[in-house]
Amino acid sequence: MELPDFKSTSRPNPNKLRFVDLFAGIGGMRLGFQRTGCKCVFSSEWNTYAAQTYLANFGDPPSGDITKLSSEEIPDHDILVGGFPCQPFSISGVSKKESLGRPHGFDDPTQGTLFFELVRIIRDKRPKAFLLENVKNLLHHDGGRTFRVIMQTLDDLGYLVPEPQIIDAQLVVPQHRERIYIVGFREAVPFEFPKLPEMRPVLRSILDPNPPEKYVLSEKLWNYLQKYAEKHRNAGNGFGFGIANPDGITRTLSARYYKDGSEILISRGDGKPPRRLTPRECARLMGFPETFLIPVSDTQAYKQFGNSVVVPVIEALAKAMVHALNSPERGALKRRSRQLSLTAIAS
């Protein structure tokens, strides 16, 4: 599969739009915006392992915990981008926290309120635009109340926010991965959410022909996964491993992939235990270029790619935003209707 070549060594034109990369992870959003010629002037990421990967690829270490940084410490910028932590809102994250009797969503004391850190910076720095990313379940979390709070808060900042869109990355990578994208502009501009090119790559196009044996599941783990799946099938549940079709697409890669790889397994035929994806294959599955360095352990790499964004999707959004901001037209962007139903957005 031909993927865009997002070389981290590219030198953006200093006269182009400047952006800050918050909750930066390993830099997937940065890669997409740099591809448009935008210049990153600040980044923030609290996880030390993700920061290690970020540094290896971009040459500058991200600042740490955003909650400990004042707005004055963040340079002026044109665009703010941030994929704020999704675990408090994801289906799996909510289920796990509920089973443990722990709060989720905005009630999560460590991650649920980080959205308001973005609000603080947008309010204080007043960028021309912002792009926020999260899991699809954000739309329905807490009966839709969480999403209504988010949209009302962004409206109160005075930004024009068109209808958020759920985009499935399977048109540009061989993975079913739906994420919600929220875009806002300080002034009316002719912005439209982009249509992704219909590349429709298949899994086979990103697989290594001779992966190391260490990625093959042990007989013990493979037997456990089969018994676990049978148990839940008998109970009428849909839990279990997934053998990916090499001529199709995969399930969504998640941060838990390091545990057993059960959601995306590759058949080896003849009744042999399957294997999990290699970290490099995970990078390809997320649209990262071959030049992207992976300086951490396999465990950390699986977590990082599972938490990341699909780079070609971000590139498409970045191009649409840059085009809108550079356009001489004004007044073409209408504010999202406050009465818009959640069902309409989801469709």
Q: Which sequence positions are flagged as catalytic? A: 86
Cα dist from 200 to 58, 107, 203, 267, 281, whole Å? 29, 39, 10, 21, 17
For residue 346, give the 3-state DSSP assignment.
helix
What's the CA gap between 187 and 81, in Å, rounded?
A: 17
Note the Cα 139 to chain centre separation in Å: 15
Q: 89, 70 in Cβ contact below 8 A?
A: no
HSE-up of residue 177 (Cα within 13 Å, Cβ side): 30
Q: How does DSSP assign 158-224, residue by residue?
A: T-B-PPPEEEEGGGTSSB--EEEEEEEESS-----PPPPP-----GGGG--SS--GGGBPPHHHHHH
Helix, strand, or coil (residue 104): coil
Beta bridge mates, 79: 19, 129
By CB atoms closer than 10 A (0-12, 13-18, 19+), residue 95 is exposed
Give the angle 30-34-40 at the CA atoms, nearest 5°: 65
- 184 phi and psi angles, rounded to 5 deg: -140, 150
- DSSP string over 2-30: ------TT----TTS-EEEEES-TTSHHH
Provide CB contacts within 8 A for 231, sequence distance 6+.
none
Cβ-contact 105, 89 below 8 angstroms: yes
